[in-house]
Amino acid sequence: MAKVLMFASAREASGARAQEIPGDCVVAVIDAAEQMYGPRFGEVVAFSRIWLNGDPVTRDGRQPCTATDELAILPPVAGG
């Protein structure tokens, strides 16, 4: 389980700023979040950067997650 922090369009798609989501590794937590929040959230995650405790990881990462870990979902931001 990890605390998942959601930013920008990930927050909009999920309707949540942060949520404890079960899973023993990055991919399991992301998969559980996609099941919890639906296909729109999955579309956002597909183009997002994922960070585990401040370090970048891949979406399909097998890095272990515990209750003390934070997983951040950072979608791309448009601007000028």
Domains and CATH numbers, the chain: 2-74 (3.10.20.30)
Task: Encode pLDDT of 3-38 as tens digits.
Answer: 999 999 999 999 999 999 999 999 999 999 999 999
Q: What span, in angstroms and rounded, lies between the C-alpha atoms of 29 and 44?
A: 15
60 pLDDT more than 70: yes
42 pLDDT more than 70: yes
Beta bridge partners of 21: 2
- Contact by Cβ (8 Å): 14, 37: yes
Q: What is the pLDDT of residue 11?
A: 97
- Tell me what percent of the residues of the chain surpass a pLDDT of 70: 96
78 pLDDT more than 90: no
